[in-house]
Copies of this chain bind each other. A is one copy, B any other.
Amino acid sequence: MGKDNKVSLTVIRRLPKYHRYLSDLMNKGISRISSQELSVLTGFTASQIRQDLNNFGGFGQQGYGYNVEDLQRELGKILGLDQKYNSVIVGAGNLGQAIANYRGFEDAGFKVLAMFDRNPRVIGLKIRDIEIKDMEHIEDFIKKNNVEIGIITTPKDSAQEVADIYVKAGVKGIWNFAPSDINVPEDMILENVRLNESLFILSYFLKAATK
Contacts and interface: CB of A to CB of B under 8 A. Distances in A.
Contact of A200 (B81, B102, B195, B198): B81
Residues of A in contact with B, size category: 35 or more
Nearest to A202: B191
A85 B191 contact: no
Interface in A49-90: 78-81, 83, 85
A125 interface: no
Nearest to A208: B80
A196 interface: yes
Given A12-B201, A200-B16, A202-B175, A209 B193 contact: no
A157 to B, nearest CB: 12
Chief secondary structure at chain A's binding surface: helix
Nearest to A192: B198
Interface in A71-124: 78-81, 83, 85, 93-95, 97-99, 101-102, 104-105, 108, 110
Contact of A15 (B83, B191, B198, B204): B204
Nearest to A193: B198
B79 A207 contact: yes
A195 to B, nearest CB: 7
Contact of A172 (B20, B108, B193, B206): B206
Contacts of A195: 99, 102, 193
Interface string A173-211: 101000110000001010101111111111111111110
A115 to B, nearest CB: 12
Contact of A81 (B83, B180, B203): B203
Contacts of A80: 200, 203-204, 206-208
A170 to B, nearest CB: 13
B16 A149 contact: no
